[in-house]
Structure 1
Amino acid sequence: MLSKESTGLIIIDIQGQLARLVHDSDVLVSNCAKLIKGAQVLGLPILWLEQNPDKLGSTVDELSALLADQGAIAKFTFDAGEEPQFMQAVRTANVDTWLICGIEAHICVYQTASHLQQLGFKVQLVCDCISSRTLANKDLAITKLVNLGVDVSGLEMCLYELVKDCRAVEFKDILNLIR
């Protein structure tokens, strides 16, 4: 079970024109916005990545507006685990479990989640908060990551798992996000 004391969120490369070209992009962006807001309500550490932002563009406005109080970590490798600034942020966050959302599922999400899993972190792929240009590539990424031992969750599932109790202070805010 997820615990808000030991869980963080990693947002991977939801940027530029590519964010508008992935399968079901409107749902992806909407769900990721809810996930970010939920993580903020719960006080989770949030790491925000952008792949080669000078070439691919910035994170979409709907999400960057929610993250305005922190900066994105630029990366050039598909596996964010190869980026020293990201790995320092992962270690500084002092959590052992990471929720992962972003694009493209079969490239940067897959490689980053796989790397974190290999390092001993617990990784939960938020399946309705990831995408690729094709649904087949998204499905392939999920299958390969599950075979590596990565857990799969959904937006509602992980947020309610983190809240745990309808009497929790954060419950109403989370409920309003999901409705």
Structure 2
Amino acid sequence: MLTTDNTLLVIVDVQGKLATLMHDHDALFKNLQALAKGSVLLDIPILWLEQLPEKLGSTIPELQDILSDLTPIEKSSFSGCGAQAFTSALKASGRQKILLAGIEAHICVYQTAADLLFQGYEVEVVVDAVSSRTLQSKDVALDKMSALGADLTTVEMALFELMETAEAPQFREIARLIK
């Protein structure tokens, strides 16, 4: 089970014009915002990756506003695990369960998931907060990540699992994020 004590959110490469080319990007952006805001409300640590920001641009403003207290981790490798700053921050967090979101599902999200699983982390891919330019690429990526041992979840499922009860102090605010 995901808990507020064992979980960390990783947001991968939701940047620039590329982000607007994703399949159903409006729903993707809405879900990413809800996931990020919910994680902040629940005090879930967030690691935020950017792929070559000087070339691809910075993270979309809708997420930058939510993550303004954090600094993105730059990378050139497709996997976040190829960035020393990411692996160091991950180890320092002490968290073993990783919620994984971002783009593109079949490249950077997939390779990050594979590396995390190989290193012994438990990965849950947030299916409504990942995307690719085509639905087929996203579907194949989800199949491959699942076959490697990643669990699949949704924004609503993950946030409610983290709250555990309707008596959680954040319940009303998180319920509003989902609607």
* 1:62 counterpart residue number: 62
- CA apart distance, 1:89: 0.7
Q: CA RMSD in A?
A: 0.6
Aligned to 1:100, what secondary structure does the other structure show? strand
Which amino acid counterpart does residue 19 of structure 2 have in structure 1? A
- CA apart distance, 1:29: 0.8
- Cα distance in 2 for residues equivalent to 1:167 and 1:88: 35
- CA apart distance, 1:4: 1.1
Residue correspondence of structure 1 range 50-89 to structure 2 within 5 A: 50-89=50-89
Q: Using structure 1 for the length normalisation, give the TM-score.
A: 0.99
- CA apart distance, 1:5: 0.7
Residue correspondence of structure 1 range 1-179 to structure 2 within 5 A: 1-179=1-179
Q: Using structure 2 for the length normalisation, give the TM-score.
A: 0.99
Give 5+ residue unaligned stretches, structure 2: none
Aligned to 2:14, what secondary structure does the other structure show? coil
Q: Percent identity?
A: 46
The CA deviation string for residues 131-165 of structure 1, in whole angstroms up to 9 with x for no partner, is: 00000000000000000010000010011011010
- CA apart distance, 1:173: 1.4
- Cα distance in 2 for residues equivalent to 1:156 and 1:58: 27
- Cα distance in 2 for residues equivalent to 1:168 and 1:70: 25
Aligned to 1:17, what secondary structure does the other structure show? helix
Which amino acid counterpart does residue 83 of structure 1 have in structure 2? A
Aligned length: 179
Structure 1 range deviating more: 88-97 or 102-111? 88-97
Which amino acid counterpart does residue 160 of structure 1 have in structure 2? F
Poorly superposed stretches of 4+, deviation over 6 Å: none
- Cα distance in 1 for residues equivalent to 2:170 and 2:30: 20
